[in-house]
Amino acid sequence: MTGYYRFTVFAATGVALIALVMTPAFGLLADEEEVDLIGAHVAVLVGEGVHDLETLVPMAYLANRGARVTVVGIERGSVNAYNSDITIQVQRTVDFVTADEFDALVIPGGESPSVLREHEGAVQFAADFVNAGKVTAAICHGPQVLITAGVLDGREATGVRGIADELTDAGAVFEDASVIRDDNLITSRVPDDLPDFCKAIQDALADEVDLQPDWEPEPIDEIDLDDFPEPDIEPLPDPDVEPLPEPMPEPDPEPFS
């Protein structure tokens, strides 16, 4: 399907499949300039009540470019979108992962950030990305997690209008724009801004991360057959075979005539 991306998310039931088709309505056309993100590992931090598109669109966008995407949550199981029937499987929990395992963090919006900011492990997980200089991207209410983490002082940021005062009180320089990139920090406002949000994450990963796979095939030297001597093979001994028995004489037909 030219001009479309397909991305499949396994729902919590383990058997249901949710196919997300990103159409030109989101500006994510296949003929746009792509960056190969093979070698990048991205965590998507979710809690109960995520916004479906703000979660799935970045996941699909990055995965389609070769990035490895892992859904991280407070506990194992699944989380439900607050605005649809979509459920998303949590693959790892914040208590058993570290920022060192990833190259970037994405925090979707919805009701999820208000849940995450109440969990110390989730807040620390997000703070570790920012403090380590790793790519950290939050959209809509997602920056609330970073507000609680106390990592926005003096940083340029945006978000849904409802959290503008929160951002300012946290020391951020708020700007009402589709996407703001301040070094390793990327923030965005609403689902309509997803094309700019995803593109900014892609560009930041290309700038900040060594996107080479962590393995390379061993070089194979050319083989010169002249370097190998002729094999010294001893002939096999003649097999010890018993001689065939003498043939039996033909019977005389006269006694039977």
* Of 140, 146, 152, 179, catalytic: 140
CA distance 30 to 13: 31
The backbone torsions φ and ψ at residue 229, rounded to the nearest 5 degrees and listed phi first, read: -70, 160
Sequence-ordered list of residues with C-beta below 8 angstroms from that of 238, at least 6 positions apart, any chain: none
Taking CA atoms, 45 is separated from 56, 95, 129, 174, in Å, by: 12, 12, 12, 23
Taking CA atoms, 228 is separated from 94, 120, 225, 232, in Å, by: 57, 66, 6, 12
DSSP for residue 256: G
Tell me whether residue 140 is one of the annotated catalytic residues: yes
Q: Which residues are catalytic?
A: 140
